[in-house]
Amino acid sequence: MDHIVMPASKANNSLWASSTSPSLKQNLQDSYDIAIIGGGFSGLWSAFHLTSLDPSLKIAIFEAKSLGFGASGRNGGWASSEYPVYKETLKKRIGSARTDQLFEALNGSIDEIGAFSSHHHEVGFAKSGSLYFARNKAQLKRLKGKVDGANTFLSASEVKERLNVTGVLGGVFNPICATINPFKLVQALASHLQKKGVSIFEGTWATPVSGGVLANSSFVKAPAVIQATEAFGAPGREFIPLYSLMVATEPLNDSTWREIGNSERFTFAENSHMVNYAQRTIDNRIAIGGRGATYPFGSRLRESKESTVKVHETIRSLLKSWFPVLQSVNFTHSWGGAVAVTRNWEPYVQWNPHDGFGRLGGYAGDGVTMSNLAAKVLAHEILDVKNELRNLHFVNQKIKKWEPEPIRYLGVNSLVKLSGIADAEERITGRASLLNRVIEPLILR
């Protein structure tokens, strides 16, 4: 196993992480049945599903920093059934039946997150759907292509009734998406697990070794080890880190919300090439994020990417262009984090019963729901419990490698730049950008 690269690290300064919890340090024992490396959703849900299947298991979670330090404590809070590969591409890859099975499983995971959150109201779980809107003809054309059993087309006036966006031409509404406060979900999972007897060690760097883990410098025996470190885990060429950045406004008053709409708290985004995503938080702010930060050469995590000023500025301007009423709003938080992207944009869940090593990740920015599902699959694999989810197409698949540098650097950053250029072209011409043809094969979705 390659070494794990982690930035020097300041605190996760996301909006969500403003509420901290006491540091978790317990007495480290010599051995556990299962050692989990990483205290984000993947690690926590793995422990959750394992203890649900077998409450007698002795489990330890090792988190190098603090729970939710990674993407799980920094994300946009969309618990959606979105998958990093387009549905149509997936159908060609694995067929309709297996594609349908995947989306049903994702929907099931949203409901599972909802059921868990119903005991933890602070998570602010609201399954009120997601709305993608179009502000030029090219975006509209692409949106119409998304309409299916799950996605309903809305005219411009129907969008405006729900969300008063300027220049909107139409939209697509999908009811199967929930809004959450992700950090509160991390905290709620941790407290649930502690009650179930799971030991959680923060500030503990762990490395998988034969027969267990090295936790800081102590050997801890564990016949099963799970690596749940996503973008932080041994990049090599199996996945690359891509940065997503976010900002949050101050809490908005009632009259501003009457002007904007969205009393239901559905998630929303413009259907541009450059990924963007927004939610109305439980305390009435808007938290909005987007891509656009460049990929770091050699896949090395770089903290400076989390605060790329230009990207934060672009996101603020995008929000103000949607809602002119926010012209002089104060933005109280700005942050960012890395997601892990595999070459075919598919997640991975791997378990090797011979050496007792498992890992999960590669969610490419759609990990809030997917981490629950991946962890459920992994728990069933480890305990060898029958479940049809074990047949999902990405389980125990070899990960296709990214190109070596500098091809990878040039390819990925061209994609980042071209997405921005294609959006600008579509805003001006109203026609689908010809760059589309270059972008699509590059990302292989």
Ligand X SMILES: Cc1cc2nc3c(=O)[nH]c(=O)nc-3n(C[C@H](O)[C@H](O)[C@H](O)COP(=O)(O)OP(=O)(O)OC[C@H]3O[C@@H](n4cnc5c(N)ncnc54)[C@H](O)[C@@H]3O)c2cc1C
Taking CB under 6 A as the criterion, the residue among 32, 48, 78, 133 binding ligand X is 78
One-letter amino acid of 402: W
x/- contact string, 174-213, with ligand X (CB under 6 A)? -------------------------------xx-------
Q: Determine, following the binding rule CB under 6 A, whether residue 72 of this chain makes contact with ligand X.
A: yes
**What is residue 172's three-state secondary structure?**
strand
| Nearest distance from C-beta of residue 383 to ligand X, angstroms | 20
Of the candidate residues 38, 84, 241, 296, the single one contacting ligand X (CB under 6 A): 38
| Span from 61-69, 128-136, 409-417, 427-435 in contact with ligand X (CB under 6 A) | 61-69
Question: Can you tell me the distance from the alpha carbon of 281 to that of 385, in angstroms, rounded to the nearest whole number?
Answer: 38
Kindly tell me the burial class for residue 18, based on how many C-beta atoms sit within 10 Å of its own C-beta (0-12, 13-18, 19 or more). exposed
Among 17, 32, 65, 249, binds ligand X (CB under 6 A): 65
277 near ligand X, rule: CB under 6 A: yes
The packing angle between helices 436-443 and 407-429, to 10°, is 140
Nearest distance, CB of residue 70 and ligand X, angstroms: 2
331 contact partners, CB below 8 Å, separation of at least 6: 247, 248, 249, 250, 316
The strand ranges marked E within 139-187 are 152-155, 170-174, 177-179
Q: What is the DSSP string of 30-77?
A: SB-SEEEE--SHHHHHHHHHHHHH-TT--EEEE-SS-TT-SGGGTS--
Shortest Cβ 366–ligand X spacing (Å): 4
Phi, psi values for residue 340, rounded to 5°: -100, 130
Under the binding rule (CB under 6 A), the answer on residue 74 touching ligand X is yes
- Interface positions, 312-351, toward ligand X (CB under 6 A): 336-337, 339
Instruction: Report the nearest approach of ligand X to the CB of residue 201 (Å).
Output: 9
Given a contact cutoff of 8 angstroms between Cβ atoms, the answer to whether 154 and 146 are in contact is no
Q: Candidates 40-48, 131-139, 166-174, 420-428 — which segment interacts with ligand X by CB under 6 A?
A: 40-48
Give the interface size with ligand X as a residue count (CB under 6 A): 44
* 3-state class (DSSP) for residue 155: strand
Q: What is the dihedral of CA 219, 223, 228, 231, to 10 degrees?
A: 60
Q: Which of residues 356-395 bind ligand X (CB under 6 A)?
A: 361, 363, 365-369, 371
Q: Determine contact, residues 131/266, Cβ cutoff 8 Å.
A: yes
Contact residue for ligand X among 15, 24, 34, 42 (CB under 6 A): 42
Residue among 35, 37, 247, 399 that touches ligand X (CB under 6 A): 37
The reply to whether omega before 406 is within 30° of 0 (cis) is: yes
Does residue 7 contact residue 241 with C-beta atoms inside 8 Å? no
- Exactly one of 16, 69, 239, 345 binds ligand X (CB under 6 A); which one? 69
Closest separation in Å from C-beta 47 to ligand X: 11
Q: Which of 35, 143, 246, 286 binds ligand X (CB under 6 A)?
A: 246
Q: Which residues bind ligand X (CB under 6 A)?
A: 4, 6, 37-43, 62-65, 69-72, 74-78, 205-206, 228-232, 244, 246, 277, 289, 336-337, 339, 361, 363, 365-369, 371
